[in-house]
Amino acid sequence: MNPVTFFKSEPVNAPHAPRLMLAHGAGAPADSAFMEKLASALSEEGVATVRFEFAYMKKRRQDGRKRPPDRQPVLLDHFREAISACLAETVEGGRFFIGGKSMGGRMASHVVAQMGTQSAICGAVCFGYPFHPPGKPERWRTSHFQDLQRPVKIIQGTRDPFGKKQEVEAQRLGSADNVCVSWLDGGDHDYRPLARQPETHDEMISQAASVAAAFIHQWE
């Protein structure tokens, strides 16, 4: 197993805060502006975050060459390695969740669908779920939702081209017990608001963090 490098953000004066392991999206690293702002906002909400990078992104960081994501089995193996490494760092108290941005969130949902019921993972949070490729609504990516073994919270912008509100609500995503979608009005895939909206981009990200924290804290 290759060593896993973590990017951590801890809430102030909360040593037993719940932890959320976050995977990045397909094209941006773990310390992208979006991921940094999200981690900071979650910290303010009392949630510790642990970010990691998939192998293809680590290679890009080393040589500067852009690469497409690895195939799903490779991504999932790396995700599980990161989970094991994180859990090996003993922290008393605090529940453990996984999640991610776009592709990272999708991989987290697959981990939850494939894991055993005795896993330490309490649930998953997906920030901007890629329900389908933009412009290709026939390629829906939710067949594994029926196998989810922990609750999954999806936080989606209403005009996300990877799954707009009207499209998603027309689908059956699984039972109400294992998947729930919350909507950020006017947000796109990165939660950028419309120009006429009063909210800033940072405020939209903070709203997403607040929704995620509420989901996580309810299991304490």
Q: Is residue 34 part of a domain?
A: yes
State pLDDT tens for residues 59-77: 998 998 989 999 999 999 9
Pairing of strands 48-52, 96-101: unpaired
For residue 25, tell me if it sits in a domain. Answer: yes
Going from the C-alpha of 74 to that of each of 55, 56, 81, the distances in angstroms are 9, 10, 11
Computed over every residue of the chain, the mean pLDDT equals 92
Residue 1 within any structural domain of the chain: no
The answer to whether position 66 is within a domain reads yes
CB 84 within 8 A of CB 68: no
Write out the two tokens for 115. 């894991």
Q: How far is CA 36 from CA 73, 101, 205, in A?
A: 27, 12, 10
Domain of 209: which CATH number? 3.40.50.1820
Average pLDDT over residues 104-111: 98
Side chain identity, residue 131: F
- The DSSP element (H or E) to which 58 belongs, if any, is helix 55-63
Predicted confidence (pLDDT) per residue in 130-180, tens digit: 999 999 999 999 999 999 999 999 999 999 999 999 999 988 775 556 899
Domains contained in the chain, number: 1
Domain span at 107: 7-217
The answer to the question of residue 2 being in a domain is no
Question: What pLDDT is stored for residue 175 in this prediction?
Answer: 54
pLDDT in tens, 41-58: 999 999 999 999 999 999
pLDDT tens digits, residue range 73-94?
999 999 999 999 999 886 666 8
